Amino acid sequence: MKIVVLEGSPNKNGSSNMLAGEFIRGAKEAGYTVGVIDAAHANIHPCTGCIRCGYEGPCSQKDDMEKIREQILSADMMVFVTPLYYYGMSAQLKILVDRFCAFNSSIHRKNMKSAIISAAWNSDGWTFEALESHYKTLVRYLNLKNMGTVWGKGCGTPSMTRASRYMKEVYELGKNLK
């Protein structure tokens, strides 16, 4: 299986990317091919709603999205990775997701697998409710098969994350995909 990890953290050494690294380690040990798209540091512009793509691309904007589109469409699974920012995904990852507009149908037809990994400082029971709802909607809309979620509560710093149970959870998620 070919997996593409969509990282949305502007902090390359932060908690969500640390969790992504453990997922990747597990997936590679299981024999999967894993690529990473660093949405936070890619040249991706917001969707303008011009609809010149005809909802099936290519997008009229000349940025990294065409290359990213190819990476996504060549994969069997997408893993969304984001810090929790104001109870949703990071703006950097959201820009990438919004640009799916130019190839929604292609994603839908692929019947791809997906997962989400997120890290939050907060550890209240309701911390991930809004992001979880958004992810479930993406899964339904894009015809994805959810393979797992890791909601890293209380992972506000790398040291907090390193000491948490979530490092093992994401590793196991990557290692045990079917």
pLDDT value, residue 57: 78
Residues 103, 77, 169, 30, Cα dihedral to 10°: -160
In DSSP notation, 152-165 reads: ETT--SHHHHHTST
> For residue 78, what are its two tokens?
């997408």
77, 115 contact by CB (below 8 A): yes
pLDDT value, residue 56: 86
Compute the distance between CA of residue 153 and CA of residue 149 in angstroms, rounded to an integer: 12
pLDDT value, residue 178: 79
In DSSP notation, 14-73 reads: SHHHHHHHHHHHHHHHTT-EEEEEETTTS--PPP----TTTTSS--SS-STHHHHHHHHH
> Which residue in 114, 164, 103 sits closest to 144, CA to CA?
114
Q: Is the pTM of this model over 0.75?
A: yes
pLDDT value, residue 128: 97
pLDDT value, residue 58: 84
pLDDT tens, position by position, for the chain (178 residues)?
999 999 999 999 999 999 999 999 999 999 999 999 999 999 999 999 998 888 887 888 999 999 999 999 999 999 999 999 999 999 999 999 999 999 999 999 999 999 999 999 998 999 999 999 999 999 999 999 999 999 999 999 999 999 999 999 999 999 999 7
Homologous superfamily of the 2-175 domain (CATH): Flavodoxin domain (3.40.50.360)
For the chain, domain boundaries: 2-175
pLDDT value, residue 59: 87
Backbone conformation region of residue 111, classed left if phi is above 0, alpha if psi is from -120 to 50, else beta: left
Compute the distance between CA of residue 15 and CA of residue 154 in angstroms, rounded to an integer: 10
